[in-house]
Amino acid sequence: MSATFAALGEFGDAISFIFSERENQRGSPVGGSHNLALLWEHLKLSAAAMGLAMAVALPLGLILGHTGRFSFLTISTSNVGRAVPSVALIALFVAFFPRSPEFLNVTLALALLAIPPILTNAYVGVRQTDRDAVDAARGMGLSGAQVIRQVELPLALPLIFGGIKTSTVNVIATATIAPLVGVVTLGDPLVAFSVYGREGQIGASIIVAVLAIAAEIGLSAVQRAVTPEGIKLERGPEGRARSRFGLTKRRIQTAP
Partner 1 sequence: MPPTHTAQSEGPSGYREAVELEFAEATKRYPGADSPAVDGLSLTVPAGEICVFVGPSGCGKTTAMRMVNRMIDISSGDILVGGRSVKDRDVDELRREIGYVIQQIGLFPHRTIADNIATVPRLLGWDRPKINARVEELLDLIGLPQDMSKRYPAQLSGGQRQRVGVARALAADPPLMLMDEPFGAIDPINRERLQNEFLRLQAEIRKTIVFVTHDIDEAIKMGDRIAILQVGGKLAQYATPSEILLHPANEFVEDFVGADRALKRLALLRVSDIELGPSNGGPSIRDTALVRDALSDLLQHGALHGNVVDSGGRTVGGISMEALARLAKA
Partner 2 sequence: MILAQLQIRGEDDAGDSCVADNGFCPSWIADNWERYQDPFLEHLALTLISVAIGFVIAFGLALVAHRRRWLIPPITQITGILYTLPSVALFFLLLPLTGRGKTTAVIALVAYTLLIIFRNVITGLEGVPAEARDAGRGMGLTPRQLLWRVELPLALPAIMAGLRIAVTTTVGLTALVFLAGAGGLGEEIFNDMQFRSNVVVAGGLCVLLAVVLDLLVLAAQKLITPWTRKVAT
User: Are residues 208 and 186 in contact, defined by beta-carbon separation less than 8 angstroms?
Assistant: yes
> Out of 206, 235, 239, 240, which residue is the one contacting partner 2 (CB under 8 A)?
206
The partner in contact with residue 85, picked from partner 1, partner 2, none with C-beta cut-offs of 5 to 8 angstroms by kind, is partner 2
Strand partners, 22: 30
Per DSSP, 149 falls in state I
* 16 forms part of the interface with partner 2 (CB under 8 A): no
Nearer to partner 1, 137 or 148 (CB): 137
* 43 forms part of the interface with partner 2 (CB under 8 A): no
Concatenated DSSP letters of 9-53 = HHHHHHHHHHHSEEE-TTS-EEETTHHHHHHHHHHHHHHHHHHHH
The partner in contact with residue 87, picked from partner 2, partner 1, none with C-beta cut-offs of 5 to 8 angstroms by kind, is partner 2
Spell out, one character per residue from 97 to 136, where the chain touches partner 2: x when CB under 8 A holds, - when not.
-x--------------------------------------
User: Are residues 57 and 112 in contact, defined by beta-carbon separation less than 8 angstroms?
Assistant: no
> Out of 73, 133, 193, 225, which residue is the one contacting partner 2 (CB under 8 A)?
193
User: Are residues 204 and 39 in contact, defined by beta-carbon separation less than 8 angstroms?
Assistant: no
Residues with Cβ within 8 Å of residue 156, at least 6 apart in sequence? 62, 65, 122, 125, 126, 128, 129
Residues with Cβ within 8 Å of residue 166, at least 6 apart in sequence? 117, 121
Nearest approach, Cβ of 134 to partner 1 (angstroms)? Answer: 8
Q: How many residues of this chain interact with partner 2, rule: CB under 8 A?
A: 59
> Out of 51, 59, 68, 85, which residue is the one contacting partner 2 (CB under 8 A)?
85
Q: Which residues bind partner 2 (CB under 8 A)?
A: 6-7, 10-11, 79-80, 82-92, 94-96, 98, 169, 172-174, 176-177, 180-182, 187, 190-195, 198, 201-202, 204-206, 208-209, 212-213, 216, 241, 244-247, 250-251, 253-256
